Amino acid sequence: MARSSRSSIARHSMAEQEPSVRITNFDEVALGYDLTTAVEEAQRCLQCRHSPCVSGCPVGVRIPEFIKALREGDMWDAVAKLKDKNSLPAVCGRVCPQETQCEEVCVLAKRGEPVAIGRLERFVADWEREHGIRVPPVASSMGKRVAVIGSGPAGLTAAGDLAKLGYDVEVLEALHEPGGVLVYGIPEFRLPKEIVKIEIGYLESLGVKIRTNVVIGRLYNVAELLESYDAVFMGTGAGLPMMMNIAGENLNGVYSANELLTRVNLMKAYQFPEWDTPVRVGARVAVVGAGNVAMDSARSALRLGANEVHIVYRRSREEVPARAEEVHHAEQEGVIFDYLTNPVEILGAEGWVTGMRCIRMSLGEPDASGRRSPVPIEGSEFEMVVDTVVMALGTQPNPLAFSQAPGLERNRRGAVVADSATGRTRLERVWAGGDIVTGSATVISAMGAGRVAAMDMHAYLMGQSRGPWLTAAEPA
C-alpha cells in the first residue's frame, strides 16, 4: 500500500456502550476493535524508520514491529513483539495516557490523528488471552531468593522479569487480592478485574509466588527480609490519601477516593448486599480534583445511582491531568465540571454532609513548574448542596512499609530516594520503583521502573555490578 493511501485512512473509532446504558452498569465501557478494524487501523502505520512512537513509550514497546505483524496476520508474532517490552499489555492498552505518550509523538499526530496504538495493543493482548496465553521458557532456578513488596504494576513487572531469569521470587502483598491500584483503584468499567487476574495468573505460571495478607512494617520489616532474601524490591506505591484539612472533612458522607474506590472495586460494594461491604453514595455528589482518580470516582458515583455528580477543580479545563478519554467519557455520561472552583468548608447537619462552601478561582502567573497557579477571587464564595463529597486530591507513599528500614532515605514528600537508572536506594540490596519513588504516576512508568530494577538486581546478584551503591540519587 502506498504511503499516501495509508495516511488517507481515517483513525478507527472503538465501539463503546451507549452513555445512557453504561451508567446503569459496571461493565466495560470500551468494547475493543474486531479483527477487521484492527487490521485496517494497523494499515495506517507508516513504519517510520526512526519510529518516534517508540521513544514516546516509557518502556519502549516495539510499536511498528507489532503493528506490522498484526497487519500481516501473524498474530503470535505480534504478541511476541508486544510482550517483549510490556508484560501487561491488556492493561496498558486500556489505561495508558496514550495521548501524552506513544500517540502524541506518532508522526501522523502532526497532520491529523495518530495511529491508535493503545487500541491495537489492547486488541493484540485480548486476542492472545482468547487464544490461550503461551508461557515462555523460564531459566532454571539459580537458588537466589528475591522479595518483592507490593503487587502493583511495578512489583509484578519486577517479579515477572526476575522469575524468567531464574530467581525464586515471592511477592508480599498487604491486601487479600494482588494487583495494587489495578484491583482496588481503577474501576471494573475501565479495566475488568478478570483481565488483571489472568495477567497475574500468567506471572504465577512463570513461577512467581504471591503471598497476600502480608503487611510489611507490621508482620515483617525490610531489615528482616534482608536476612532471608538476597534482594528486596519495594513497590508499595503511593497509597496514602491526602485530605484538604478543611472544616467538616470528617463528616459522614466525606470519602477519600481511595475508600470509595476500594469499597467499590476490591470489596464489590456495587453488588451489595450480595457482597457484604456497603458504600453510601447520595443523590448529589461532589468530587474534588480532576485526575484519573477523580474521573473514576465521579463515574462510579453515577453508576451507584447518584443523580448529579460534579467535578470540582481549582484550575481550568486545560490543566486537567486525567486521560483525555476519561474526561470525554465523564462528560458524555453527564458529569458536571465546575472549573476554577475550590472548596473551603464542608457543611453538615447531625453528622452528615449537607453541602460544600466553595470559592471561585482565577489563574495567576505561571509558577516555577510553568503551571498557572490558581488564586481565590475574594467575595466569590457560594454554597453547593451535596450529600456526598469525594476527596481525590492525590496520594503519597504510605509510610507503613518503611518502619524498621533505617538507611532508606526519603524526600520531603515521603517518596523513597532511588536512582532512576537502576532503582537502587540508599540501603544496600534494596531497590524501589513505581509510585513509591515518583509519587502518583502511571501504570506504564511503574512497570518501566520495575523492569529497570529487575535488570540491575540481576546484574548485582550475578556479581557483575556490585558497587558503587547509589552514588547519584535522583531528586524525586
Among 14, 69, 96, 454, binds ligand SF4 (CB under 6 A): 96
User: Among residue numbers 217 through 236, which ones bind ligand FAD (CB under 6 A)?
Assistant: 217, 235-236
DSSP 408-439: --B-TTSPBP--TTT-B-SSTTEEE-SHHHHS
Q: What does the chain come to in residues?
A: 476
Q: Which of 413, 414, 412, 350 is nearest to 387 (CA)?
A: 350
User: Do residues 166 and 275 make contact, with C-beta atoms less than 8 angstroms apart?
Assistant: no
Residue 351 sits in the site that holds other proteins (CB under 8 A): yes
Binding region for other proteins (CB under 8 A) out of 51-59, 186-194, 265-273, 335-343: 265-273
361 sits in which H/E element: strand 352-366
C-alpha cell at 162: 526476575
323 binds, among ligand FAD, other proteins, ligand SF4, none (CB under 5 to 8 A by kind): ligand FAD
DSSP-assigned beta bridge partners for residue 384: 356
Binding part of the chain for ligand SF4, among 25-33, 46-54, 262-270, 396-404 by CB under 6 A, reads 46-54
153 binds ligand FAD (CB under 6 A): yes
How far apart are the C-alpha atoms of 326 and 46, rounded to whole Å? 28
Using the rule CB under 6 A, which residue among 46, 246, 251, 363 binds ligand SF4? Answer: 46
Instruction: Kindly give the residue spans of alpha helices, DSSP state H, lying in 107-221.
Output: 107-111, 117-130, 153-164, 181-184, 193-205
Report CA-CA distances (Å) from 379 to 120, 347, 360, 361, 365: 51, 18, 9, 11, 21
Q: Fill in the DSSP letter of residue 324.
A: H
Residue 48 as a binder of ligand SF4 (CB under 6 A): the answer is yes
SS3 labels along 366-407: ECCCCCEEEEECCCCCEEEECCEEEECCCEECCHHHHCCCCC
What is the Cβ-side half-sphere exposure of residue 42, based on CA atoms within 13 angstroms?
26
Residue from 51, 398, 440, 442 in contact with other proteins (CB under 8 A): 398
The CB-of-35 to ligand FAD minimum distance in angstroms stands at: 26
Task: Report yes or no: 286 and 257 within 8 Å, Cβ to Cβ.
Answer: no
Stretch that binds ligand SF4, among 61-69, 255-263, 280-288, 302-310 (CB under 6 A): 61-69
Within 10 angstroms of residue 188's Cβ, the number of other Cβ atoms is 19
**Candidate ranges 158-166, 212-220, 306-314, 460-468; the one touching other proteins (CB under 8 A):** 212-220
Choose, by CB under 8 A, the member of 108, 175, 298, 359 that binds other proteins.
175
- Partner that binds at residue 149, options ligand FAD, ligand SF4, other proteins, none, CB closer than 5 to 8 Å by kind: ligand FAD
Closer residue to other proteins (CB): 243 or 385 = 243
Between 354 and 373, CB nearer to other proteins: 354
Do 141 and 47 meet the contact criterion of CB atoms below 8 Å apart? no
Q: Are 298 and 287 in contact (CB under 8 A)?
A: yes
- Residues of span 364-383 touching other proteins by CB under 8 A: none
Could you say whether residue 252 binds other proteins (CB under 8 A)?
yes
Q: Considering CB distances under 5 to 8 angstroms, the limit depending on partner class, which of other proteins, ligand FAD, ligand SF4, none binds residue 52?
A: ligand SF4
Task: Provide the terminal-to-terminal Cα distance of the chain, rounded to the nearest Å.
Answer: 47
Q: How far from chain centre, in Å, is Cα 135?
A: 25
**Three-state secondary-structure class, residue 454:** helix
276 part of the interface to other proteins, by CB under 8 A: yes
Size of the site for ligand FAD (CB under 6 A): 43
Among 107, 215, 223, 240, binds ligand SF4 (CB under 6 A): 107
- Using CB under 6 A as the criterion, which residues of the chain lie in contact with ligand FAD when the complex forms? 95-97, 149-155, 172-175, 180-181, 185-186, 214-217, 235-237, 239, 261, 292-293, 296, 323, 398, 400-401, 434-436, 440-444, 446
- Using CB under 6 A as the criterion, which residues of the chain lie in contact with ligand SF4 when the complex forms? 45-48, 51-53, 57, 59, 61, 63-64, 86, 92-93, 96, 98, 101-102, 106-108, 115, 117-118, 121, 444
- Using CB under 8 A as the criterion, which residues of the chain lie in contact with other proteins when the complex forms? 174-176, 184, 212-215, 218-220, 239-241, 243, 245, 249-250, 252, 255-256, 258-259, 262-263, 267-268, 271-278, 280, 351, 398-400
